[in-house]
Structure 1
Amino acid sequence: MSNTVRVALWCCQRSLSTLFERCIAAGGDIEIFHEVYLAAYRFGPQHRQENATFETDDNYTYENVHKMLSQKFPLGRAAFIKDMAFAVEGRFPELSSEFCHTFLIRSPQKVIRSYVKLLQGCNFDENYVSELRQKLPNSFKQQCLLYDYFIEHGYQSNMIVIDADDFAAMPEIVLRRYCQETGLTFGGCMLRCESLDSIPEDWHCSEVLKKATKASGSHERALRSTGIEPSTSTGKGPDLPIVWQKCVDECEQFYRIMFERRTIFKE
């Protein structure tokens, strides 16, 4: 690989990750890889989705994704991938040590409340929703395991871990620190975005994934946002259905591990 600054952000679902990604993209001079491993996991020929049936995208093999991320870019142009940790489960050794690996976490209570709200407006069948509930704890678990893998195999001695609450409450402080520690260049433009109807054409992203997110509305709020309004929301609301609260409880043990590892930001 060249001397290109390469940064990876490993997330769980509904963690403000697309909004964070948009902030990074607004800095300019950067290649954005949007959930390319998730596309291989969910839509590619090696997909691991069990119950739900989706359109396939044969271009998104794991091998092709690795090649995509290792290509050379013009001098001065950085590369940034935002993806889900669970999408690389069992494939950690294939990940490049040339990337600066970082994490974005969020409270399971807030993640699942966001999911429940999203699913109310979708027409997903019960098989998909049931599988989602079953797999969400593993999403949090894989963040822990991936972090451990990077440390144990000497990828990095320290990694920045952002809690979504900190990003929402003090976006400029978080983004400045993030850029400082990853080698990206911070600019005030990162705090402002244009409202979008879909994933930008210049982002590297599966066309099938684009259609799926458009249909579900999962990225709509993040794409339509024109900036980050500092938030102190507690995420409290009516009691969750028992099956979802059980899911929260199962996720919580893994979230707490990552929360203890979080980077401390000071206003």
Structure 2
Amino acid sequence: MRIAMWSGPRNLSTALMRSFENRPDCTVVDEPLYAAYLSATGLDHPGRDDVLASQPNDWRVVAKEITSGPVGSAVQYQKHMTHHLLPEMDHGAFAGLSHAFLVRDPERVLTSYAKVREEPTLEDLGLPQQVALFEEFGGPVVDAASILASPRAALVGLCEALGIEFDEAMLSWPAGRRDSDGVWAPHWYSGVWASTGFAASSPGAADPLPSRLAPLLERCLPYYDRLAPYVMKVD
């Protein structure tokens, strides 16, 4: 099974990748479209040159690899950032994957993301792409807040929705970096490198929203509200 988990930034996405990677039957792929995204947009992200050198720059090559390339485990978990999916990238190329969606309250996303990029945009957050993918492919929708509040129950429900068995190993992991981490990890993953479970992975949860980002929050909310009715209920 190839699971494509589509998330915006600062959504607990790397911690969830850690959770799946700790399963003995699972390997992970970290943001496979990142280099293609940077190549197409010309954006100057931290570590840009290293990212471009580490992955194929053609999204078509990436799509072929992650949909039909060899996998050395029963489950492959692909961590995707929705903003990496540009208009010229045909969604149909990813149709063979088992799609799932990780969402988070946009206010919490913005308070966290603003710490690493002072002026994020709607395009940076990838919410329109996430809604478009959900409307095209469907799949389980899980909220980061549910995972933080009840990790075991949320992961049991997510695994059931994906058609795989839950594994207790998903609840904790050793601290530190992984060979599977993208080359951009030193710029973004310090919190996850220090973590051993979900409780330690909630950057910005108690911080107020900077007033300058209030208009952006208003633009984000309709997309979040579109997916909210489909979020898995966690007891």
* TM bracket, shorter-chain basis: 0.7 to 0.9
Q: How do 1:52-91 residues align onto structure 2 when only pairs under 5 Å count?
A: 54-55=48-49, 56-57=52-53, 59-69=56-66, 70-74=68-72, 77-90=74-87, 91=89
Match for residue 219 of structure 1? 189
User: Is 2:8 the counterpart of 1:38?
Assistant: no
Give me the TM-score of the superposition, normalised by structure 1.
0.76
Match for residue 23 of structure 1? 19
Match for residue 109 of structure 2? 111
CA distance in 2, matches of 1:134, 1:183: 33
Aligned CA distance change for structure 1 residues 234 and 81 (closer, same or farther; 3 Å): closer
Match for residue 7 of structure 1? 3
* Kept after mapping to 1: 8 A contact 2:159/2:165: yes
Q: Equivalent pairs: percent with the same residue?
A: 21
CA distance in 1, matches of 2:43, 2:200: 38
Residue 165 of structure 2 aligns to a residue in which SS? coil
CA distance in 1, matches of 2:57, 2:175: 28
Matched letter for residue 219 of structure 1: Y
Please, which moves more after superposition, 48-57 or 245-254? Answer: 48-57
Q: For residues 214-247 of structure 1, what are the alpha-carbon distances to aligned partners after superposition, in whole Å with 9 as ceiling and x for unaligned?
A: 1x2x2111222111239999945445132x2221
CA distance in 1, matches of 2:200, 2:150: 6
Residue 32 of structure 1 aligns to a residue in which SS? strand
Match for residue 41 of structure 2? 48
Match for residue 170 of structure 1? 150
Residue 147 of structure 1 aligns to a residue in which SS? helix
CA distance in 1, matches of 2:115, 2:62: 32
CA distance in 2, matches of 1:96, 1:16: 23
CA distance in 1, matches of 2:15, 2:215: 28
CA distance in 2, matches of 1:92, 1:224: 37
Deviation at 1:141, TM superposition (A): 1.3
CA distance in 1, matches of 2:113, 2:164: 31
Q: Which runs of 5+ in 1 are unaligned?
A: 120-128, 152-158
Q: For residues 93-129 of structure 1, what are the alpha-carbon distances to aligned partners after superposition, in whole Å with 9 as ceiling and x for unaligned?
A: 343333210000011110011112334xxxxxxxxx5
Matched letter for residue 240 of structure 1: P
Aligned CA distance change for structure 1 residues 52 and 224 (closer, same or farther; 3 Å): closer
1:247 corresponds to which of 175, 195, 216: 216
CA distance in 1, matches of 2:208, 2:70: 50
Deviation at 1:252, TM superposition (A): 1.2
Aligned CA distance change for structure 1 residues 87 and 227 (closer, same or farther; 3 Å): same
Residue 33 of structure 2 aligns to a residue in which SS? helix
Aligned CA distance change for structure 1 residues 98 and 177 (closer, same or farther; 3 Å): same
Deviation at 1:146, TM superposition (A): 1.2
Matched letter for residue 34 of structure 1: D
User: Is 2:132 the counterpart of 1:145?
Assistant: yes
CA distance in 1, matches of 2:163, 2:71: 16
Match for residue 161 of structure 2? 181
Radius of gyration: which is bigger?
1
Aligned CA distance change for structure 1 residues 231 and 264 (closer, same or farther; 3 Å): farther
